[in-house]
Chain A
Amino acid sequence: MINKRIFGLVLIGLTLFACEDQSKKQIGELHKQVMDLHDVVMAEYGSLEKMGFQLKDSLAALNEAGTADETTLSTFHAAIQQNEKGIEGMNNWMRGFDQKYEEKGPEKAVTYLKEQLVEMEKVKKDFDEATQAAKAILE
């Protein structure tokens, strides 16, 4: 009888250990996915920021010359807006990212990282679109 109880407790212990190990693995994988996206965006952050400054300088020059048509000016305005959205999107994501997410516990940490992955994918999409829009004008 006692042996059966001990066996049962060991089984429960092993199951809990296996679950915790599984959660840790999932957290590790999700964390890596989020950070990989972060790294891709950060590698291009400086270039996008610089293109934003160039767009603003070019627009100021066009306004001063007074020779650009409305279509050209609105193309510049749209690209600058996209640029700011891309840069601010990344800044806001970093500012909001809870680096102590693991303190939430395994289950909530997994949920949190899944949400962050979705957010980071959106940030990258905005970033890529802003880069394309700027390049279309500047290159």
Chain B
Amino acid sequence: MNINRLVGIVCLLGALMSSIGCDSQPASKYPVDKPLPVFGVSKMVDGLLVQHSIPSFSFVNQDSNQVSEKDFDGKIYIADFFFSTCPDICPMMSAQMVRVYEAFEDNEKVAILSHSLDPEYDTPAVLKDYASKLGVQAPKWNMVTGYSRRFISEFGQSNYLVTAKEDEGAPKGILHSGHFLLVDKDRKIRGLYDGTTEREVNMLIHDIKRLLNEE
């Protein structure tokens, strides 16, 4: 076998491996042959079946401005729960969320909503400092406080810790688990991703684009 033929075979094998074997990360977390799932138990309201959605809210962000569901009208948003002081998974989550922020910085239809789980300590000034260190700004990325610890715990548990068929893989205690939730413009939860891993956040970024196209 001459050397040119050998090089040709090696190149061909390399191209095949990169197209089928080596790049094994799925682009989307969910099946691509149907729309992204809707998480949460549907309820009967006035005789109609209503899908779970995030209720109205009013918080205070890092700029001391009120932030409500109206600020997310017509937008997709990614929600998470964090402690500004957490030394372990929160910095990992923040680093990954910055990737999401940068990927959609110029897209007005995508926003981020991070809820502090330590509202007594995480005042708007503390959150402002935290956001500045990450190089991010509201309204693209709202970091919110202005509620009691009990309120945010119960609000998160009952609205973001959803239970449904699609949600069987959701970890217990999601508020402290470093998960990112993808919420559509109707405030329905459409995806759940481990915010501490690059792989899952790649899938989230892909699924945000999917959702934008879907809508």
Q: Tell me the A residues contacting B by CB distance below 8 Å.
A: 35, 38-39, 42-47, 49-50, 53, 91, 94-95, 97, 99
Q: Which of B88, B118, B120, B153 contacts A53 (CB 8 A)?
A: B153
Q: Could you tell me which residues of chain B, from 52 to 110, have a CB within 8 Å of some CB in chain A?
A: 83, 85-89, 91
Given A91-B118, A94-B83, A95-B121, the answer on whether A49 and B149 have CB atoms closer than 8 Å is yes
Kindly identify, within residues 150 to 201 of chain B, every residue whose CB is under 8 Å from any CB belonging to chain A: 150, 153-154, 157, 173, 175-176
Instruction: Name the A residues within 8 Å of B120 (CB-CB).
Output: 91
Cβ–Cβ < 8 Å partners of B154 in chain A: 53
Question: For chain B, which range describes its interface: under 10, 10 to 19, 20 to 34, or 35 or more residues?
Answer: 10 to 19
- Residue on A with the closest CB to B90? A94
Chain B residue nearest to A53 in the complex (CB): B150
* Contact assessment for A38 and B88 in the assembled complex, using a CB-CB cutoff below 8 Å: yes
In the assembled complex, how far is the CB of residue B140 from the closest CB belonging to chain A, in whole angstroms?
25
Whole-angstrom CA separation of A39 from B86 in the bound complex: 10
Residues of B within 8 A of A (CB): 83, 85-89, 91, 118, 120-121, 149-150, 153-154, 157, 173, 175-176
What is the number of contacts between chain A and chain B, taking CB atoms within 8 Å?
Answer: 45
Q: Do B176 and A45 touch across chains, with their CB atoms under 8 A apart?
A: yes
In the A-B complex, the 6 residue pairs with the smallest Cβ-Cβ separation, listed nearest first, are: A46-B173, A94-B85, A95-B85, A35-B88, A46-B176, A97-B87
A46 touches B85 (CB 8 A): no
Q: Which of chain B's residues have a CB closer than 8 A to the CB of A97?
A: 85, 87
Q: How close is B66's CB to chain A, nearest CB, in angstroms? A: 26
Which chain B positions have C-beta within 8 A of A95? 85, 118, 121
B87 touches A49 (CB 8 A): no
| CB nearest neighbor in B for A50 | B153
Nearest-neighbor residue (CB-CB) of B177 within chain A? A43
Q: Which residues of B contact A45 (CB under 8 A)?
A: 173, 176
Q: Is the CB of B157 within 8 A of A99?
A: no
Q: Are B85 and A47 in contact (CB under 8 A)?
A: no
Task: Give the residue of B83, B91, B118, B176 whose beta carbon is less than 8 angstroms from that of A43.
Answer: B176
- 9 A-B residue pairs with Cβ-Cβ distance under 8 Å, sorted by A, are A35-B88, A39-B88, A42-B88, A47-B173, A49-B149, A91-B118, A95-B118, A95-B121, A97-B85
